[in-house]
Chain A
């Protein structure tokens, strides 16, 4: 394995999560949303699983073992935000607060139902891709058993 990848792979996840958070926050006035944010985080997780091998990656990233729960929770969150309008008799995907009314903002983050939906979507995409990554890396030989690896 190239030393660059060896150094980058375990450290890329945190910046990837930051980038994903940025994408979700700015997605409403600019490009980006929950789906691409999820893919970016899953790519970072994938790199970690490929370089460390499934066993060690599982140890260092406990949440990945529950990726299926994360994905299901994300889908439920997205469904919840998507269908909240139904409670008040409005169609699904009704935007709250309604267009034109003041929005509570924390910095550039605006608290709207669309952001909540995207957070759910982010968890769903990142979670289900991680499930796939874990299945696929199970087939790889564990790099930890490889005598050529001295990290």
Chain B
């Protein structure tokens, strides 16, 4: 219980304290890394406790349930919290090696970590909204920072779209409170089951739109390529590897956790949208020639797999969605961190990432894809779409590989990069390989995480 509060307090307090110092000094990002590592260790302790003996719940100030704010760590929340903080740590270590460009970067990443963790580890939907906003506020500043009007324009798009998405989310939260008279997730689940179906569907659509915007699902993807291509590699890695996890988590928690009836009703629509996302992202990514642009469109396609798996539902579908989200976050973080580099090592990493996106062993992407295919095995049409999507990703990933890593670089300065620039991507590549070769921990974790959702235990 104490570990849960400490895991929240560390990044929050360290983030505020670091705001006071200039993050471009060499030692500052390492403090940020230290705080994130401490958070990871504490979260690991919470996760061990949760996986061994069930959810850890804590009500602030020991108030009666329903009055105090509930912090609740279950397997699903802890999995996503660990994933997001780990990807943030990777991005900060990379930036620390590379030299931090922005004054506030180390502090903002910590505040982002606090917000994400709080959102994943709360049992109260309004509290979720508050932490969601904290994380988004930090990511707005991250996205807005950078040289030139292009970054500012992209940051403005990101901010505007997310403010609208959050507003829709808040409307749905208000709707939930109106219908169930509670904000506590456990009680909402019970009371939503007997609520007016029309109101429940309206609320469910609001949540779906809010989280789809966050994930960049087709047809809510319009902002994503602009933002991901304009941002610096570390920021793009943070946005796609950590912040976007809120979308997948939200669809699982709010869809499968709180509104399982409505999720089942909309299953067909989710699968169609997911399929559209896969094909749209794949086709547009083929027409791109730079790694950054390709990855941005690929991100739209990859989240389609998560949505299809959620649409299929059941223990297998949800576990597949979680496993895919984890693998996808690792892929995207590694590939975005290497977008501006060239060389033998980076070329190898890119090839590994490309194999992972396409779902070819020994990369971890194979495990993710395999799980999703396992979920859709009864449906040849959906399986066909997924297969087509995988083929498209194989084509676009290796097309970019050919253009960027086979041909001699036009810009000779980009060829030589120091070992510092690729140490983090190499570590992430190692993780991706390890998860591909030995997937049991990943699968066990995603199974445990899926089991907390009522939709997975019909």
Contact residues of A with B, CB < 8 Å?
Answer: 68-69, 72, 75-76, 79, 83, 85-86, 89-95
| A92 to B61 CA separation, bound complex (whole angstroms) | 6
B contacts with A: majority SS: helix
Assuming the contacts A72-B16, A72-B19, A89-B2, asked whether A79 and B61 have C-beta atoms less than 8 A apart, the reply is: no
Whose C-beta in chain B lies nearest to the C-beta of A114?
Answer: B61
Contacts of A75 in B (CB 8 A): 16
- CB-contacts of B53-72 with A (<8 A): 58-62, 68-69, 71
Is residue B5 within 8 Å, beta carbon to beta carbon, of the partner chain? yes
State how many angstroms separate the Cβ of B9 from the closest Cβ of chain A: 5
Residue in contact with A93 in the complex, picked from B12, B13, B16, B61, CB distance below 8 Å: B61
- CB-contacts of B37-86 with A (<8 A): 58-62, 68-69, 71
A contacts with B: majority SS: helix
Is residue B1 within 8 Å, beta carbon to beta carbon, of the partner chain? yes
Is residue B194 within 8 Å, beta carbon to beta carbon, of the partner chain? no
The 7 A-B pairs of least Cβ separation, nearest first, read A93-B60, A93-B61, A86-B5, A91-B58, A75-B16, A83-B9, A92-B5
| A83 to B13 CA separation, bound complex (whole angstroms) | 10
State how many angstroms separate the Cβ of A75 from the closest Cβ of chain B: 5
| A127 to B58 CA separation, bound complex (whole angstroms) | 31
The number of chain B residues with a CB under 8 A from chain A is: 20
Contact status B9-A91, CB under 8 Å: no
State how many angstroms separate the Cβ of B113 from the closest Cβ of chain A: 15
State how many angstroms separate the Cβ of A96 from the closest Cβ of chain B: 10
Contact status B12-A79, CB under 8 Å: yes
Is residue B412 within 8 Å, beta carbon to beta carbon, of the partner chain? no
Whose C-beta in chain B lies nearest to the C-beta of A78?
Answer: B16
Contact status B9-A93, CB under 8 Å: no
Contact residues of B with A, CB < 8 Å?
Answer: 1-2, 5-6, 8-9, 12-13, 16-17, 19-20, 58-62, 68-69, 71
Residue in contact with A90 in the complex, picked from B9, B62, B68, B69, CB distance below 8 Å: B62
Contacts of A95 in B (CB 8 A): 61
State how many angstroms separate the Cβ of B283 from the closest Cβ of chain A: 44
Contact status A91-B1, CB under 8 Å: yes
Q: 29 A-B residue contacts at CB 8 Å? A: A69-B20, A72-B17, A72-B19, A72-B20, A75-B16, A76-B13, A79-B9, A79-B12, A79-B13, A85-B61, A86-B2, A86-B5, A86-B6, A86-B9, A89-B1, A89-B2, A91-B1, A91-B58, A91-B59, A91-B60, A91-B61, A91-B71, A92-B5, A92-B58, A92-B60, A93-B68, A93-B69, A94-B61, A95-B61
Contacts of A72 in B (CB 8 A): 16-17, 19-20
Task: Apart from A76-B17, A89-B2, A92-B5, list 4 A-B contacts with CB within 8 A.
Answer: A72-B17, A86-B6, A91-B61, A93-B68
| A83 to B9 CA separation, bound complex (whole angstroms) | 8
| A26 to B69 CA separation, bound complex (whole angstroms) | 24
| A76 to B19 CA separation, bound complex (whole angstroms) | 11
Assuming the contacts A76-B13, A79-B12, asked whether A94 and B62 have C-beta atoms less than 8 A apart, the reply is: yes
| A149 to B428 CA separation, bound complex (whole angstroms) | 64
State how many angstroms separate the Cβ of B429 from the closest Cβ of chain A: 37
State how many angstroms separate the Cβ of B28 from the closest Cβ of chain A: 15
| A92 to B6 CA separation, bound complex (whole angstroms) | 9
